[in-house]
Structure 1
C-alpha cells in the first residue's frame, strides 16, 4: 500500500513540475521527493532545490512540500501503528495494569479539550488566520488549492524589506510643499492670513519686545529663561549676544564631542537664510558648520514656520546630525527636545538588530535604485525615463497646425501674388528663418500582447484554457423577471426618444431670427409679441418641470422638523429604553450583533453610551465605520452637537483626503475604507478599544475585508470589542461567522403586512406600477404609498407620467396626490421633504430607489409597490468594465421592502411579479459587492498586509476565482508583484496611496519622469466627477465654452489646463459660472490636490513641474493605464489592444472627431454603446517601455495578429451578391 501511495505521489509531483517547468520526468520527480523526505522544514527544502540549480517559486515549493510532508507523516504513522500492534500481540498474555498499579491509561484527547477558550474565541470550529510567516497548513489540499496554487501561497507577515518608514504626521512640511500649498490659496485666505499675521505682530510689539527694549534691553537671565526654537524664538536669541562683541559665538554645551550620525549637540546659529539657518558645532576635530533646513524647524505647536521666525543669529539650539556628506552636515531640531536635549526619535544603528536590519535593507534599496539609474530606468518604478522629446520639441510640434489642401493652396497663391508675406504663413518659423518642411509620414508600428503568463499563475488563467465562471446575479436568466428587465431597457430608450423628439419640436417651433420682427416695418400680427417673449431665451436657468415645481416647491426646509430639544430627542429614540441592557450585553461579549431598523438610534447613540460607560481607555478611541463618506460627516456633526463639543475635538471624523480629528478625540466616525487602510499600518488596531461596523448589511468590499481582519484581531486582543450593526433581519449569518456571537435586537414597530402577487408576469413594470398607484389612490383607504424603482431617469419619467395622468382625472375630482422622488442625486434638503406628513385630505406617493429599503424609515407608509428590480453594479472580468444593470432583487430584499408597509400600521405590499417568480427566480440573499466588482485595490492591500493565501482568507462570502486571477495579473503587469506573486517594493508604495493601483502607479511614475506636479493635478481632477455642466437651455453656449479648454493631447491635459486657468483667475467662482464649470467640483479637486501634496512630501517624494512638456505627462499617464490602450479600428471606432473589444469615443471627449490613432482611456462606461471616458493620446512605443510584461513590438518579418484578423470587404453593390467578387463565384463568366 505504501508503494502505491509513493507512486501516486511521484506522479503528482511530475504533474506539478510539468505545469510549472514544462518538464515531465519521473526520475526528477523521485529526486524531488527524496529531497523533501530529507528536509525538516520548508526553508530547508527550498534551499536544497535551489542548491541543485532549480528556480523554484514559493508557491511551487509550498505545494510540493505540503504533499511530501503529508506522505511522510502517514508512512510514519503506519509504521508506528504496526510496531504497536506487534508489541501488544507479544504481551497479550500479561495482565494489563491500571492506574492503581502505577500505570495510568492515556485517554484520547478531543481536539476541543485542547483549545483554550479566550473571550470571543470561536466555538464553531472557525479556522484562524496563520500567525507565522512560514507555517504550513496540515490539512489535505483541496481540489481548488491544487488547481490554483497561485492563490494559496504561504502568508508572509515579516518581510522587513517591504516595511516603509512611517512618516511623522505632526512634522511640518518641506519648503517646496508649503510653497505649493500657498499657491492654492485664494485672495480671501491670503487676506485673512495677512490680517492674522499683522495682529500677531502687533500683539508681540506691545506685549513683549517693545516693552523690554524700552527698559534698557533684555537681561541675560531673562533671555535664558525663555524657550528656544519656538514660534517666538526672537525672545530667546539675546542670550549669546550679551557680550561687548556681538559677533562672538558662545558655546555652553559639551565641548569636544566626536562627530557621529544621529548624535545630539549644542550649537549656535551663525547665519539665517530664507531656506534655513547655519549652525556652528564645537566638535573634537574643531568647529563645524551644518545646515538646518527650514523644514527641520518647527514651532512648539508643530505647525509650519519660516526660518526668520524660528531662530535668530546667535541663538543657542540643540540639534541632531541627520546626515553626513563629506564636509557637509544636515541638522534637525524637530527630533530633539529643546528644553532637555532628549532624543525624540532614537535611531541608533549600532544598538539593535532590528535597526541594523532596517539599515541593511535601506542600503540595499539605495544600491538597487542607483543600478536602475545607470540603466536609464526610474529609481522608484523602473520605467524607461530617456525621453526623446524635450520641452522645446514638444512646443515646436504643437506650434504646427494642420491645414487642408485647399488652405495650403490658398496661402501659397496669396504669397506668390505679394498680398501676404511669408512671415504670415502658419508654417513660418522665426528661429529657422523660413517655412517649416512638411511632416514626414509616421512609420506604422505594430504592438502585440505578450502571450507568456506570470510564472506564479502559469496554467491558471484563461490564456491556458482555464474555464472560469463568474458569480451569477440572476437565479434564472431565462425567467420572466430577466425578460422583463431586458424589456424595460428597450422601453426606457423609447420613452427617452419620445421626450427628446418633443423637446426638439418645441425648439424648432421657436423663430430662429429674433431681430427680423423689429427690422421689418410691417411685421405679421403677433410677431413682435412672440419675439419679446422669447428675447431672454437661453439666458435664464434651467426651469424645473411642472410636477417638481408643484410638489417640491421653491422654499424647502433642511432636515427633519422637530420642536423637541436635543435631550428630549435622544430620550425619544427606541434605543434609549434599552440603554442598560445594551451596555450589559456589550460588557459581557467581545463580539455583539445589534439589529435595529433605521431611525432607532444605533449609529448616533451607541458610541456615546460606550464613551459614557468608560469603555474608552487612555490613548484609544471608539471607532465607527460608515459605508459612505457623506454619512460619516453628517453623523459626526450630529453626535458632536449632542455630545456638547466642537466637531473635531472629542468627536471627529476621517474620510479619504480629509481628517477632522485631534489628540482629544475619543469618538471617531470614518469610512470603512479608511479603517482598512489603518489596518494596513496596524493590523491589531491598537488605537481602538471598540470598533463598530455600522450598516454591515450593505456588504461593501471594505466591510467584507474588515470582517476577516477584525475577526483575527478579536483572537489576538482579548481587550478588543467588536460591534456589528445591521438594519436587516438576516443576522444569523453574521452571528455564525463571528464565533456564534450574541444577537441584541432593538424591537421596532411591526404590524402585519398583506402580500399580493400578480397572476401573470408583467412585461412593462413601470406601466404596471403607474396603474397600481392610481388604483390604490382611488380605491384604498388613506395611507401613503412607497414605490420602488431602479434609477433617476426612471423615477423622473414615472413622476412626470403620474402627474399628467392625475391632471386628466381632475374632472372626476380625485383627492390630491403629492409625488415625491428620492434618489442620491437630489439635494439633501429636498430628500428630507419625504419625512413631512401629508396634509389632511391628501395622499403622499414616494418614488424611491432601493435606498428606502433599509437606509430610510418613512412614517405613514401603508402601501408598498415592489416591481422586483434594482440596479446592480456588475464587473465583467473579460472586458474589465463596471456596468449598472437592472437585475431582479433577492428574496431578502423583497421581504425588507414589504416590511416598510408595516411600520405605522397594518399595510399591503403589491408585488408586480408572480409568486412562482419569487420562489424560483430570486436568490435567497443579495450577491455581496465583493463577488461582483473589481478587486485590484483589495488584493493589493491584502498583499501589503502579508496575506498571500487569498483562497483561504476568512471571507464571509469568497470572491470568484476569475476576479482574483485577473486582479493578480493586472498587479503583476503594473509591477506591484514579482514572478513569485509576492509584493514588490513598488507595490508596497502603491498600497500607501488611497486610490486605484493604476492612479498610484501613475503618481509614482511621475516622480521618475519629473512631472509630479501636473500628475497630482490630473489625479485630483479625475477623482471628482462632472466638472463641466450643460444647462438644457444653454447647451450650445456651454459646449462652446468647454471647447475653449480642449487640448489636442486629450482630456487629461484639458483638465490640467482647466485647473491652471482657474488658478490664474484666483479660484474665482464667477469665472466658473461664466465658463459653465462646477466650482464645487473644482474645490473638491483642490482639497484632494492639497492632501496629495502632503502625502508625497511626507514620503519624501519630489514634486517637480514639467511645464509645457505634455509628452512627458502623457507618457506618465500611459505608465498607469497601459492596459486601457486602444487603436483606431478601420471599420468604426477603436479596438482595445488587450481583448480586441470594439469601443467608441464619448462625444464629450476633447478628442472627439480628432480620431488619434493610439490612445489610452481612464474608464469604460456602458450606455447605448461601450464609450471611452477621459482619453489621452500616446505613442505606440511607449507601451513597450512602460509595460514590457504585457506588450512587445511585433515581428517585422511576418504579419501581425491585427493584420491577420483584417478582412477585405468589397464596396457594397446592391445589384450583385455579397460574394460575387470571389474567383470561385466567377467560373464560367467573361
Structure 2
C-alpha cells in the first residue's frame, strides 16, 4: 500500500511537471526564445516590450539560466512591488523544480529568501538600490533585468542611471529593460541605442463597455457591476481594480453581506483580496485588487475586468515640503493595461465605470514618480553609494530642481548631510536602515533617550497596512476599542501579551495579519540596530515623553498648530489641515501636534497624530532654521 502511495505521488509530480512544461511552451515568449538569447549575447543592453501575459517576467530569467548566463554571476530581476517579487519567485521555483530560496529566490524589504545557491533572484528595485551601498559595481550579478520599466517608479528611474554608469566600468554586465508599453524608443535611446524586441501578449479579444453617465460613487458602482457580471454573464473570474486596502475591505464586506441575495441557480462566489493568499477552488472568483494587478502579477482565469478608473498615488509639493496621498484618475496606458488582464485564455470583457468621454480625457501615460515624489530617501542612498554630484546624475527624466533642493535641505535638516552637501557619519548610519530617513533619524536618536524597543515597535506598525478595521455594523464599538488602545505601541504590546491570539484580535478590531507582519519587521529592525551598536531592547518602560521626543527629532517639519476654528496649520507651508476621523485624537483640541503623513481626500487630513510639547522643540533643527530654511520656504 505504501508503495502504491509513493507511485501515485510520483505520477502526480510527473503530471504537474508536464502541465507546467505545456503551459510554458504555450506562452507567446516561448517562440522568441532563440532570438532573445542571440540578441542578449550580441548586445550589452536590450529593451524588450512584452504585452501583458506574454510570459516575459517568468520565462526570460529561465532562458538565461538555461543558456549559461548565471555561471558568471546571478541573474537579478527587479519588480516595483514586493508582492510581485515574492509571488513570481515562487512560481518560477515551481517551474524550475527547486525549493524556493535555493536556485530561485527573492529579496524584498524585511524578507529574504535566498542562499549561496541562488542564481535567479527576484527583488524589489529598492533592494537592488540598497545593495549598491556595499557593492558599488554590483559585482555578483552577470545580468540585471529591470522589469515593469513603464511604471517609472522612483527607484527604478534611479536604477536606470546607476546601472548605466556601472556598465561603463563593467564591460561584462548585461542590462535588459522590460516594459509592457510601446514607449520603447525612450528606453532604447537612453541606453545608447539599445536593440528593441517586441513580444505579443493577449491572444483573445476583449470587449469594452463604458458607463453611460459619470459615477459619483465608484466603489458602489463596482459592487453593483460585480454582482451583475456574476449573475448575467457566463462563468469566469472577475478582477476589480480599486485604489487601496480600505476600499478592498469595504467591498469584500459588502459582497459577503449580500451574497445570500443571489439567485439560487447562481454559482458560489469566492472573494479574494489580492493581498490575501487564497486556495484555488471550483468556484467563480472575484479578485479585489489595487493597481498591483495591472502588470506585476498575472492571474489565470480572468474573464471580466471592472475598472474604477482610479488609483492612489503619492505626491510631493517641494514648495511646501509636504507629501500627501491622493486618489486620482489613471492614465490611458494604465486603462489599457487593466483591460489586458482579460483575454489571455478566452474572450473577455472590460467594464469601465467611467464614460467614453472620461477615457478620452485621461492623460496618455502616468506621470513618472520621480517628478512628483519626495526624493530624500533615494538621494541619501545615492550619496551613500558614492554619487557626489546629484545635480549632474543621469536621470531618464530629470526631476524639478526645486524637488532636488528640497530633498537635500531635508537631509541637511536631519543632519544626514553637512552644509557642503557631504554625507555625515550620522547620514551613513541612516542610509543603512531600510526605512525613510526621518524614521532612521528617530531610530538613531532612540539610543540617546533609551527607548529603542518602543521606537522599533511603533516604526514596525507604521510600516504595514491598516492595523485597525471597522466593520460597518460595529463602527462605534471599533472606534471605542481603538480609543482604549491609545497608540500603535499599545496594540503591539497587547498582541505580544496574548501571543497573537486571534480571538483577542477580533474582539479588539485588530488586523491580525498586519500586526503579525509588523512583528516580523520588528525582528529585522532589531538586527539592523544591533549592527549599528544600538541596543534594541533598551526600554523607557511606561514613559511616553522620551518616545515622542524621538519622533520630534525625525519629524519636526511635520508639526501643526491648533487654529481658532478647530483646524490646524502646518509649520511647513502654512497648510490648513484636519485630524483624520480614524485617529484617536479626532474631535479633540491639541495646541501642538506631530503627524506622520497627510492624506488628501475631500480635505487635507493628518494621519498617525500625537500631541507634543513646545519645549521638546528646543534646539531641534536649529541649524536648519537658522540657515533660512523651513516654514517660509
The answer to whether the 8 A contact 2:148-2:295 is kept is no
Question: Which residue is equivalent to 1:725?
Answer: 178
Query: After the TM superposition, which residues 1100-1139 of structure 1 pair with which residues of structure 2 at under 5 Å, given as runs?
Result: 1100-1103=533-536, 1104-1139=538-573
> CA offset at residue 653 of structure 1?
2.1
Please, which of 418, 427, 430 is the counterpart of residue 987 of structure 1?
427
Q: Are 1:603 and 2:57 matched, yes or no?
A: yes
- In structure 1, the residue matched to 2:492 is 1059
Structure (1 or 2) with the larger CA radius of gyration: 1
Deviations 1:910-933 (A, max 9, x none): 7677777655x3323221222222
2:3 aligns with none
Flag the 1:1110–1:820 CA change in 2: closer, same or farther, 3 A. Answer: closer
Higher strand share: 2
Q: Equivalent residues in 2 for 1:636-655 (5 A)?
A: 636-655=89-108
Query: Which aligned pairs between 1:278-317 and structure 2 lie closer than 5 A?
Result: none
**Residue in 1 that maps onto 2:6:** none
Measure the CA separation in 2 of the matches of 1:749 and 1:1125.
Answer: 50
Corresponding position: 1:922 with 2:362: yes
CA offsets, 1:1080-1128, max 9 Å, x none?
Answer: 3333222222222222222233453333443222222211111112222
| SS state at 2:133 partner | helix
Structure 1 residue 1003, shift from structure 2 partner: 1.0
1:886 corresponds to which residue? 328
Q: CA contact under 8 A between 1:770 and 1:798: conserved in structure 2? A: no
Cα offset, 1:1041, TM superposition: 4.4
1:938 Cα deviation after fit: 1.4
In structure 2, relative to structure 1, the CA distance for the partners of 1:1057 and 1:674 (3 Å cut) is: same
- Out of 1165, 1168, 1176, the residue aligned to residue 599 of structure 2 is 1165
Structure 1 residue 591 displacement after superposition? 1.7
8 Å CA contact retained: 1:867, 1:911: yes
CA–CA distance in structure 2, aligned partners of residues 657 and 1078 of structure 1: 19
Distance 1:563 1:879, change over 3 A: farther
In the alignment, is the contact (CA less than 8 A) between 2:53 and 2:344 conserved in 1?
no
Alpha-carbon distance, 1:864 to partner: 6.2
Matched, 1:828 2:270: no
2: distance between equivalents of 1:1083 and 1:804? 30
- Corresponding residue to 1:1087 among 520, 529, 534: 520
Question: 1:1005: which partner in 2?
Answer: 445
Matched, 1:854 2:295: yes
Tell me what 2:5 maps to: none
Mapped partners of 1:650, 1:1030: distance in 2: 43
Deviation at 1:1079, TM superposition (A): 3.8
Q: 2:200 aligns with which of 727, 734, 747?
A: 747
Alignment partner for residue 19 of structure 2, among 568, 578, 582?
568
Q: Distance in 1 between matches of 2:140 and 2:358?
A: 49
2:40 to 559, 569, 586: 586
1:946 alignment counterpart: 386
Aligned length: 610
Normalized against structure 1, the TM-score is what?
A: 0.44
Partner of 1:1215: none
SS at 1:669 equivalent: strand
Q: What do residues 766-790 of structure 1 show as CA deviations (whole Å, max 9, x unaligned)?
A: 5998999999999999988877665
Alpha-carbon offset, residue 1137 of structure 1: 2.1
Change (3 A) 1:569 1:998: same
Post-superposition offset of 1:906: 6.6
Which residue of 1 is the match for residue 153 of structure 2? 700
2:451 touches 2:546 (CA, 8 Å); kept in 1?
yes
Cα 1:604–1:1183, aligned 2, differ >3 Å: closer, same or farther? Answer: same
3-state DSSP of counterpart to 1:1189 = helix
Is residue 1098 of structure 1 aligned with residue 499 of structure 2? no
State the Cα deviation string for residues 808-859 of structure 1 (Å, max 9, x = none).
Answer: 9x8xx9x95887777545x3317x67xx786xxxxx9877654554345567
In the alignment, is the contact (CA less than 8 A) between 1:1024 and 1:1084 conserved in 2?
Answer: yes
Distance 1:1076 1:917 in 2: 39
Query: SS of 2:70's equivalent?
Result: coil
Distance 1:745 1:933 in 2: 31
- CA 1:981 to 1:756, structure 2 compared with 1: closer, same or farther past 3 Å? same
Closer, same or farther in 2 for the Cα pair 1:768/1:633, shift >3 Å? closer
**Does structure 1 retain, via aligned residues, the 8 Å contact 2:583–2:608?**
yes
Q: Secondary structure at the match of 1:881?
A: strand
Alpha-carbon offset, residue 1186 of structure 1: 1.7
Q: How many Å apart are 1:733 and its aligned residue?
A: 2.5
Distance change in 2, residues 1:1179/1:909 (3 Å):
closer
The answer to whether 1:978 aligns with 2:409 is no
| Residue in structure 2 matched with residue 614 of structure 1 by the alignment | 68
CA-CA distance at 1:953 after TM superposition: 2.1
Q: 1:817 to 1:966 in 2, by over 3 A?
A: farther
State whether structure 2 residue 590 is matched by structure 1 residue 1176: no
User: CA shift at 1:563, angstroms?
Assistant: 10
Q: Does structure 2 retain, via aligned residues, the 8 Å contact 1:973–1:1190? A: yes
Aligned to 1:1145: 579
Distance 2:190 2:122 in 1: 24
Between the aligned partners of 1:765 and 1:1036, the Cα distance in structure 2 is 24
1:635 aligns with 2:88: yes
Q: Aligned with 1:1176: secondary structure?
A: strand
> How far apart are residue 980 of structure 1 and its match?
2.4
Query: What aligned pairs does 1:147-158 form with structure 2 within 5 A after superposition?
Result: none
SS in 1 for 2:619: helix
In the TM superposition, 1:401-550 aligns within 5 A as: none
SS in 2 for 1:1165: strand
Distance of aligned partners of 1:864 and 1:672 in 2 relative to their CA distance in 1, 3 Å threshold: closer
SS at match of 1:937: helix
**CA shift for structure 1 position 569:** 1.0
**Residue 53 of structure 2 contacts residue 341 of structure 2 at CA under 8 Å; is this kept in 1?**
no
Whether the aligned pair in 2 keeps the contact of 1:594 and 1:743 (CA below 8 Å) is: yes
Please tell me whether residue 691 in structure 1 is matched to residue 132 in structure 2.
no
Gaps of 5+ in 2: 1-11
Please report the TM-score for the alignment, with normalisation by the length of structure 2: 0.82
CA distance in 1, matches of 2:251, 2:93: 40
Match of 1:996 in 2: 436
Does residue 1:716 correspond to 2:162, yes or no? no
Q: Cα gap change, 1:869/1:1032 in structure 2, threshold over 3 Å: closer, same or farther?
A: closer
Alpha-carbon contact 1:875-1:882 (below 8 Å) kept:
yes
Give unpaired runs (5+ residues) of structure 1: 1-560, 839-843, 1047-1053, 1193-1200, 1203-1230
Counterpart CA distance in 1 for 2:404 and 2:290 is: 31
Q: Please report the RMSD computed on the Cα atoms of aligned residues, expressed in angstroms.
A: 4.2
Query: What secondary structure sits across from 1:934 in the alignment?
Result: coil
